[in-house]
Amino acid sequence: MALKYDDVVAKYEPTLGLEVHVELNTNTKMFCGCSTEFGAEPNTQTCPVCLGLPGSLPVVNEVAIESAIKIGLALNCSIAPFSRFARKNYFYPDMPKDYQISQYDEPICVNGYLDVEIDTDEGVKVFRVEIERVHMEEDTGKSLHVGGATGRIHGAEYSLLDYNRAGIPLMEIVTKMVPGTGKYAPQVARAYVTELRDILRSLGVSDVKMEQGSLRCDANVSLSPMGSGKLGTRSETKNVNSLRSVERAIHGEMIRQGNRLENGERIIQETRHFLEESGETRPGRSKETAEDYRYFQEPDLVPVAPDAGWIEEIRKTLPEKPSIHRKRLQEQWSVPDKEMAAMVNAELLDTVEATVNLGADPTKARSWWLGEVSRLANEKDVAPTELMTPAQVAEIIALIAAGELTDKLARHVVEGVVNGEGTPAQVIEKRGLKVVSDDSALMSAIEAAIAAQPDTAERVRSGNIPAAGALIGAVMKATGGQADAARVRELLLNHLGQGN
Amino acid sequence: MAAISRDEVAHLARLARIEMSSDELDHLASELDQILHAVDRVQEAAKDDVPPTSHPLPLKNVTRPDVVVPSLSPEDALSGAPAADEQRFKVPQILGDAE
Amino acid sequence: MTNIFKSAQEMSSALVAKEVSAVDLANEHFDRIEKVDGDVHAFLHLDKEGALAQARDVDAKRAAGEKLSPLAGVPLALKDVLTQKGIPTTCGSKMLENWRPPYDSTVVTRLKAAGVVILGKTNMDEFAMGSSTENSAYGPTHNPWDLSRIPGGSGGGSSAALAAFEAPLAIGTDTGGSIRQPAAVTGTVGVKPTYGAVSRYGLVAFSSSLDQAGPCARTVLDTALLHEVIAGHDPKDSSSINAPVPSVVAAAKKLDVKGMKIGVIKELGGDGFQKGVSERFNEALEELVKAGAEIVEVSCPNFEYALAAYYLIAPSEASSNLARFDSMRYGLRVGDDGSHGAEEVMSLTRQAGFGKEVKRRIILGTYALSSGYYDAYYGSAQKVRTLIMRDYEAAFAKADVLVSPTAPTTAFKIGEKADDPVAMYLNDIATIPVNMAGIGGMSLPCGLASEDNLPVGFQIMTPAMKDDLMYQVGGTLEAALNSKWGSPLMSQAPALGAK
Ligand SMILES: [Mg+2]
Ligand SMILES: [Zn+2]
C-alpha cells in the first residue's frame, strides 16, 4: 500500500454514514408473543407467525412502539404522527416470509441528532451526527453452516436454521451523511456508536451487547478529494461487531479507498465484510440480480399514529442523558477530566457508579476498578466486570476503611475472588487474611526482630529513625504482611524510646 | 406500447425465484403484454389529486401487550420441514450474503 | 328418511328434537359424498375421524343437557385455504401437497367451539387465483347443475359441495368474488362480509387487503347462522373489526324491505351481461318492489377501472404473500440433491410447485411493484381504489343497499376460457368493486337463465359494518322468490350419482 492513513487524510475528505441495528429487550417478539430470551434451545421460541407459516398474521408489540418513541426522543427526533410498516421483499432462507416487515417511507422517528466529543489536537471538540431516521423492523433467523471451514458460509455443505431470533424487534437507526470529520472519522464513528449504546442502555430498551449481536453496526464511508466538494462513492461495511472494530473498519476502509483512488481505480458501491483479524474489509458476494426490494405498505398491519399525549407520557419517563449524567458525576466526585475520560474509555463509569452507590468512596472505587481489577482482567483478556461485581469491590473498600484490611491484603482478597475462591469474606476466611491488630502479637514479633538485629535497634535508639525500616520490614515479613505497617512503626519506635 | 420484453420477464422470474424454461418465458411475455395492455388504463383514472388507498379500513394503533404466550413445540415447529437436523431446519448450502 | 336435503336450520331443529344424532347426520353426508363426489370432485380431503369425533362430542353434550350453539352437530365443508391443525391444507397447490399445519385458523377454532362438524377440505383454484376451480393442481370441480361446467371459483369446491347436497354449510373466501360468483353459478348463497368482520388468521393469504372469509349455504338464514359463528373481533388479526357483530340472523328473519331504497348500479349490467342473467335479475327487482322497496338507479363511473386495478393490486400482494413458499421450512422441495444451492432449490421448487396462473400473477405482481413501475401500476391502482370507495359512498347516499347481477354469465364449460386469462378475469367484473372498497356483498339465486337453464346470482351490496342489511334484503327476496316458484331453486337441481 502506497498511501498510509496520514497520507490519505491529507489528500481526501471522508464522509461517514452509520446504520445501527439494535434488538429491543422486550419480553416478546415484534409481531408475535414468542419469548425473546437469548440462548434458548433452537426453534423453541417460534410460532406460526415468526415461522412465516401460511395463514399467520403479525400484530405489533405495544412496548416495541414505546421503545421506538423513547429512542427517537432521546435522539432529538420528531416522532411521526402517522407512520406505517412496509414489506421489503427479498428471498433469503433465514427470513421466514421472504419479506421483512420494516418501515420504508413512513418511519416512526425522523430528523434527530447526537453530539459526540472527540479529543482532537486542538482539545476536546464536539461533532454533531445528524440522524435521518429511526425505524422499526424484525430480525431474521440464524443459520449454522455445516461442512467446509468452521461455521463459514463458503464451502459449507448445508445449513441449519434456527428461527428463535426471527421476529425479534429491531430498531434501525440511520445517520445522515456526516461530513467534516477529517482524520477523526474513525474516532467519530466509534464515539457515536458508544454514545448511542450508552443512551440505549440508559433508556433500558436494549441489552446493547455487541458480542451477542443485540447491537450491530454497518459503517459507510466515502472519500472525496480535499476541497472538491463532491461526494465520493461509498462502501458499506457489515459485520462490525465491537466498538473497536467500528473504528478499525473505517480506518481500514479509508486506507483501501484512498489507495484505489490514488491508483486511478474506481470505488464500487458495494457491501463489504469486516475481517476482525486483519482490520481490513473484503467484498461481499455480488448479487446476480440487482436489488429491487419492491417495497409496499404492509397490508396485514394498520398505521401507527401516536397522539401527542402518548408521546408526552413517554417523554416524562426518559432518564437523564448519559452525557449530562457524566457531567453531573464528574462534578459530584470532583474527578479531573483525564481520569473521567479514562473511566469512560475503559467503559467502567457505570460500574464505578454502581460501586459508589453501594457506599464506596468514588476515588477508591475508581482506583480499584481501573487499577487492580483491570490489571487482572487484562491478564485474563476479559472485561473487569466479568471478574468482580460492584458489591464485592464495595465490600473490600469498606473493609480497608474499617482497618480490617490493608491495601496489600486487599489485593490478595481481589486475587482470591477473581480465582473463584468465593466472596471477599470467604477469601479472607480461607486465606486467613485479617490485619493483625493484636498489639501483644505485634510486640512479640517486634521483640524478635530486635533480638535478631541488635545493631540496627541500637542505631534507632541513638536517633537514626530511617534505620527502623529494616526492623519494620522484618516484622511485616514475620506476620505474613497481615500487620498494619503504621501500627508496627508506632509500637517499634515507642519501644526503642523514639515515640512522641 | 409494447409493454414488456422477454428479457424483462426473465428478470422478473429471477426476482421472483421461479426457474422458467425458455418456452415459458416466451409465452408469458406475450400473455403479460396482453394483460398489461388491459390494466394500463388505471393510469387514466389516477389523477394527481387522488390519494391512494392501501387498506379498506381506517384503523390505527392496533397493538398487543408485551406478554409471552406459549410457542409451538419444536416438534410442531419442524413438522412441515422437508429436512431437519439437530432441531433445526436443514436447507441446501446458502450462497450469497444476508442483507 | 335422509336429512341431507334439509337446510342447516332444519338439520339443527332435527338435532335439537333428537330426531337424528350428529353422528348419523355426519354419516349421511359421508355416504352422499361417497356417492356423488366421484363426479363432482368438491372435496380434496375428508376427515371422517375428526368429524365423527366432533359429532360424538356434540351428541354427548346434548344428551347431558348442555346448552349448545344453534349449529352444533351440523356438517360443514371447509375451503382448503384455511388451516386446520393436523389436517392437510393444500390451497389447491402442489406446493403444499403434504402440508399439515400445526395450528387452527381462527375460523376453525370458532367452528370447533360451536360444535360444527367439519367434514373435510374443499377444492379451489390454486391459492384462490381463478374463477372456475380449473386452476386446482388436483383437477377441476364439476358444477352439480351440469357436470361439464365450472362451479365458479376460486371456491368452486365449497359451492359445488352445497349444490350437490354433500354439506349444508361451507366456508369460502372472497378476494375478488370467490364466494359470490361460485354461489351464483351453483344456485347457492354466499356472503362476503365487510372486510375485517371475519378473522383472516389462518387464511392462507392471496391478497391481504382484499381477502375475506365468509359463510356459504343453500339459504340466506343458514349463511346468517354461520356468519354469527365465524365473525367477531380477533386480536390475532390486526385488521379485525373491534365492534359487535351485527345481528344478521335476526335480519335474515325480518322479511321486510318496506320503504327501503335499492340502488341498481348502472355500470354493472347491460352490455356484456348474458340476456338470461339480466332477465332474472330484473324479475327479482320486481319482487323487491312488490315487497315495498323503492328502486333507484345509481352510477358508479369509476367501476370501469376496477377490474384493471384489481388485477394489479391482487397480484402485487400475492407476489409478496407467496414468496414464503420457498421450500426451506415446509411444503414441496425440488432439486435438493447436493448439486444445487439454496437459491437454486428455491427457484426449482417454485417452478415445479406453482401452476401456470399462479406464476402469471406472481410475475405480474413482481412487475407492478418493481422500481420504476410502482407509481404507474400499483400506485395508480391504489388511487382507483379511492375512486371506487368514493363512488360507493355517493351511491350509498342515495340507496340503502346496492344491487347487480353477481356474474355476467351463467356457468361456462370447463376448458372454455382456460387459455384466455383476460376473458376469464371478466367473470369478476361485478364482484370486484366490493372487495376494493371492503364492503359487504351477498349472492343469492334468482332463477335459471332461459337460454341454458343454469342458475343466475343476484348480488346485494351494503355499506361497511352494515352486513345485517344484506341479510334483511336477501332474506326478503329469497322468501318472495320461493313463494313465486313454489319451492327453493335448489329443488330443481338434477339428481346426481344415478349411475
Ligand atoms: Mg433494515
Ligand atoms: Zn412467534
Ordered by where they begin, the domains of chain C are 8-303+385-492 (3.90.1300.10)
Cβ–Cβ under 8 Å, residues A209 and A193:
no
| pLDDT at A287 (0 to 100) | 53
Give the span between the Cα atoms of C77 and B32, in whole angstroms. Answer: 35
DSSP secondary-structure letter at A373?
Answer: I
Give the span between the Cα atoms of C66 and C55, in whole angstroms. Answer: 14
Q: Which of B6, B9, B12, B18 to mutate to test the interface with C (most CBs of C within 10 A)?
A: B18
pTM for this structure?
A: 0.90
| pLDDT at C439 (0 to 100) | 98
Cell of C199: 378473522
Burial of A461 (0-12, 13-18, 19+ CB in 10 A): middle
Cβ–Cβ under 8 Å, residues A139 and A167:
yes
DSSP secondary-structure letter at A284?
Answer: P
* Other beta carbons within 10 Å of A487: 16
Q: Is C278 a catalytic residue?
A: no
Cell of A454: 541488635
Q: What is the DSSP string of A133-171?
A: EEEEEE---EEEEESSSTT-STT-SEEEEE-SSTT-EEE
Q: Is C21 a catalytic residue?
A: no
- Provide the phi-psi class of A481: left if phi over 0, else alpha when psi is between -120 and 50, else beta: left
Give the span between the Cα atoms of A99 and A45, in whole angstroms. Answer: 20
Q: Is the ipTM of this complex over 0.85?
A: yes
| pLDDT at A212 (0 to 100) | 87
Q: What is the pLDDT tens value at each position of chain A, 500 positions in all?
A: 589 999 999 999 999 999 999 999 999 999 999 999 999 999 999 999 999 999 999 999 999 999 999 999 999 999 999 999 999 999 999 999 999 999 999 999 999 999 999 989 998 899 999 999 999 999 999 999 888 665 556 667 899 999 999 999 999 999 999 999 999 999 999 999 999 999 999 999 999 999 889 999 999 999 999 988 888 999 999 879 899 999 999 999 999 999 999 999 999 888 898 988 888 888 876 554 457 999 999 999 999 999 999 999 999 999 998 889 989 999 999 998 888 888 988 889 989 999 999 999 999 999 999 999 999 999 988 889 999 999 999 999 998 888 788 888 889 899 999 888 988 888 888 887 777 767 778 888 888 889 889 998 888 888 888 888 888 888 888 887 777 888 888 888 888 888 76
Give the span between the Cα atoms of A273 and A237, in whole angstroms. Answer: 5
CB contact under 8 Å between A294 and C326, yes or no, is no
Q: Which of B57, B64, B78, B85 to mutate to test the interface with A (most CBs of A within 10 A)?
A: B64
Q: How far is the CA of A86 from the centre of ligand 2 (A)?
A: 19
| pLDDT at C456 (0 to 100) | 98
| pLDDT at A149 (0 to 100) | 60
Domain chopping of chain B, boundaries: 6-45
Fold classified for B6-45: Histone, subunit A (1.10.20)
Q: In this predicted structure, which of A157-171, B8-22, B33-47, C238-252 has the lowest mean pLDDT?
A: B33-47
Q: Which domains does chain A have, with CATH numbers?
A: 5-311 (no CATH), 320-431 (no CATH), 439-495 (1.10.10)
Cell of A141: 433467523
Can you tell me which residue has the cell 474516532? A187
Secondary structure of residue A111 in the 3-state scheme: strand
Bridge partner list, A271: A236
Q: Is C443 a catalytic residue?
A: no
Contacts of residue C373, defined as CB under 8 A and 6 or more positions apart, other chains included, come to C367
A40 touches chain C (CB under 8 A): no
Chains sharing 3 or more CB pairs under 8 A with chain B: A, C
Tell how strand A60-61 and strand A271-274 pair up.
Answer: unpaired
Burial of B8 (0-12, 13-18, 19+ CB in 10 A): middle
Q: What is the pLDDT tens value at each position of chain C, 499 positions in all?
A: 699 999 999 999 999 999 999 999 999 999 999 999 999 999 999 999 999 999 999 999 999 999 999 999 999 999 999 999 999 999 999 999 999 999 999 999 999 999 999 999 999 999 999 999 999 999 999 999 999 999 999 999 999 999 999 999 999 999 999 999 999 999 999 999 999 999 999 999 999 999 999 999 999 999 999 999 999 999 999 999 999 999 999 999 999 999 999 999 999 998 889 999 999 999 999 999 999 999 999 999 999 999 999 999 999 999 999 999 999 999 999 999 989 999 999 999 999 999 999 999 999 999 999 988 999 999 999 999 999 999 999 999 999 999 999 999 999 999 998 888 888 888 899 999 999 999 999 999 999 999 999 999 999 999 999 999 999 999 999 999 999 999 999 999 999 975 4
C84 touches chain A (CB under 8 A): no
**Side chain identity at C6, as an amino acid letter?**
K
A41 contacts on B by Cβ (under 8 Å): 74, 87
* Other beta carbons within 10 Å of C362: 29
CA A306 to chain centre: 32
CB contact under 8 Å between C371 and A294, yes or no, is yes
Minimal Cα distance from A287: which residue of B?
A: B96
